[in-house]
Amino acid sequence: MTKFFPFWWENQPNYSESNGLTKNTDVVVVGAGFTGLSAAITLAKSGVSVVVFDSEELGNGASTRNGGMLGSGHKVSPQQAEEKYGLDVAGQIHKEANASLAFTTNLIKENNIDCDLQICGRLRASWIPQDQFSMSENLKKLKTIDDFNSRMIDSSKMSESINTDLYFGGQYYEDHGSVQPRKFHYGLHQLAINSGAKVFGNMPVKQITQLSADEGAGFIVSVANEFISCKDVLIATNGYTRSSLSKYLSRRILPVPSFIITTDEIGAERVNSLIPGGHCIVETRKRYCYYRPTPCGKRIMIGTRAAMHSMSAEKALPVLKKTLSEIFPELDGVNISHCWTGFTGFSFSMLPNLGCHDGIYSAMGYCGNGVAMAPYLGHMAALKILEPDKKVTVFEGTSLQTRPYYYGFPWFLPIVSVYFNVYDKFDNYRRRKNL
Ligand SMILES: Cc1cc2nc3c(=O)[nH]c(=O)nc-3n(C[C@H](O)[C@H](O)[C@H](O)COP(=O)(O)OP(=O)(O)OC[C@H]3O[C@@H](n4cnc5c(N)ncnc54)[C@H](O)[C@@H]3O)c2cc1C
């Protein structure tokens, strides 16, 4: 029987509850995912009093639902970034992708966070030959910007990494890794508490009111049935940002669902025969398919955008099963132990953003790449709160845009789903032509 909650949640310890909610604090953080907890750690370690609120039970957002693929990289190519932001900023955008991976890997190592960290590398597999060419051009460009520890893999060498003949080669990222995300989140939560932050679950923030238009006047935060006064507020709600909290942000962040399944235990030998490289694998296909062995090495986890719009995990299950057997035909019919979904947060610029609107800070817009970037940007948001006049990251300049007729309910995502399905069919046609 398939369970419809994350595999990562099985047999995990409960989060310890903070107590003694104070009526005054320096900073209120809204959202206790990777972003919010990382910000809280940096703030608390700097001697600032900080309270983090989450509307749900702790560990319910994307931070414990993701694929645990720890990597760098943006949805925007160096070329696209250069056209929009100019050469220098484009370079910085890609350097900070690398910096986010180094930051989060160090955060785990320095604090001995027990989260099954493996520097297993990541393979980006080409669905069509044109993808192999454009990745190779991108890589040449990236290597002029920073020391990117990545190389192209020829199609004849793919069998060293994966036992399927679906792909036309790939790009291998040496320094990328994987974590068990629920364990990583739990470790960050403990670190935040031990640093002096208070973290509360089941406390939805309803309203944030600026005390006066004067800079530094502070805020009153209405949370559950309490009112807390504070100097600064950071909103760290990413794909779970609703217009009831912030009309401004909900018009600028699209909640795009992703869906994951894990197989029953099929044995380490079988997993190893299918993914001999042991890497995390992502495809270049528009539907964005990603898979990896679980930390025990006995199961395969595979995720994809079964649809761009929200649907239940139960409904997405057949699509995920079909994708799994398309990649590994011998897994057709294998039992699926878990199937779940969660929301990523997409910005219209396709880049993360650290912003400040009406005096309220926000850090979000990871576009599905948040395991390394969210803790990094949370940390950067904390540095910004500590030193508001200093520019701390290039993502202060990747402004959040909105679109006409978008008021926080992504009515057009079903249409985008259809577009992606058609695009997939077109890609499949281009594949067949090359086979
Ligand atoms: C299925 C899936 C797979 C993914 N796989 C990967 C991957 O393999 N690699 C990768 O790099 N990234 C991946 N991601 C993306 C990554 O998980 C996210 O970018 C990252 O976790 C974002 O962290 P966050 O703290 O900003 O947001 P979240 O972890 O989503 O936390 C936001 C929190 O805000 C809370 N909240 C919302 N409104 C309120 C309110 N009014 N009051 C209080 N709290 C509120 C929510 O309850 C939630 O807990 C994946 C995402 C999903 C959904």
Distance CA 80, CA 75 (A): 10
Distance CA 357, CA 414 (A): 30
Closest atom of ligand 1 relative to the 260 alpha carbon: 1
- In the chain, domain spans: 7-434
* 8-state DSSP, 65: T
In this structure, which residue's CA is closest to atom 41 in ligand 1? 205
Q: Which of 68, 124, 65 is nearest to 289 (CA)?
A: 124
CATH 3.30.70.120 fits 7-434, yes or no: no
CA contacts within 13 A on the Cβ side of 409: 2
Distance CA 15, CA 6 (A): 16
The pLDDT assigned to 306 comes to 62
Q: Which of 185, 196, 200, 197 is nearest to 16 (CA)?
A: 200
Distance CA 99, CA 270 (A): 35
For residue 138, how far is its CA from the centre of ligand 1 (angstroms)? 28
And the tokens for 402?
Answer: 């909105």
Residues contacting residue 50 through CB under 8 Å, at least 6 positions apart:
25, 26, 27, 28, 29, 39, 40, 43, 44, 196, 197, 198
| CA dihedral of 65, 371, 233, 207, whole degrees rounded to 10 | -20
Q: What is the pLDDT along the chain (435 residues), one digit of tens a residue?
A: 999 999 999 999 999 988 889 999 999 999 999 999 999 999 999 999 999 999 999 999 999 999 999 999 888 988 899 999 999 999 999 999 999 999 999 999 999 999 999 999 999 999 999 999 999 999 998 898 888 899 999 999 999 999 998 999 999 999 999 999 999 999 999 999 999 999 999 999 999 999 887 777 899 999 988 999 999 999 999 999 999 999 999 999 999 999 999 999 999 999 999 999 999 999 998 777 999 999 999 999 999 876 667 789 999 999 999 999 999 999 999 999 999 999 999 999 999 999 999 999 999 999 999 999 999 999 999 999 999 999 999 999 998 988 877 877 777 777 777 777 777 777 777 777 777
In this structure, which residue's CA is closest to atom 31 in ligand 1? 33
3-state DSSP of 365-400: CCCCCHHHHHHHHHHHHHHHHHCCCCCCCHHHCCCC
pTM of the model: 0.96
And the tokens for 260?
Answer: 């994951």
Hey, which of 237, 244, 256, 310 would you mutate to test ligand 1's pocket, going by the most ligand atoms within 8 Å of its Cβ? 237
Residue 343: CB within 6 Å of ligand 1? yes
The pLDDT assigned to 102 comes to 97
For residue 240, how far is its CA from the centre of ligand 1 (angstroms)? 7
For residue 68, how far is its CA from the centre of ligand 1 (angstroms)? 12
Neighbour-count burial for 212-235, b at 16+ CB within 10 Å, e otherwise: eeeeeebbebebeeeebebbbbbb
Closest atom of ligand 1 relative to the 59 alpha carbon: 49
Residue 278: CB within 6 Å of ligand 1? no
Residue 127: CB within 6 Å of ligand 1? no
Closest atom of ligand 1 relative to the 206 alpha carbon: 41
Quickly tell me which residue has 């709600």 as its tokens. 237
In this structure, which residue's CA is closest to atom 50 in ligand 1? 66
Residue 262: CB within 6 Å of ligand 1? no
In this structure, which residue's CA is closest to atom 48 in ligand 1? 61
The pLDDT assigned to 419 comes to 75
Residue 54: CB within 6 Å of ligand 1? yes
Hey, which of 28, 38, 63 would you mutate to test ligand 1's pocket, going by the most ligand atoms within 8 Å of its Cβ? 63
Q: Is the dihedral of CA 181, 183, 186, 190 positive or negative?
A: negative
Cβ 122 vs Cβ 173: under 8 Å: yes
Residue 369: CB within 6 Å of ligand 1? yes
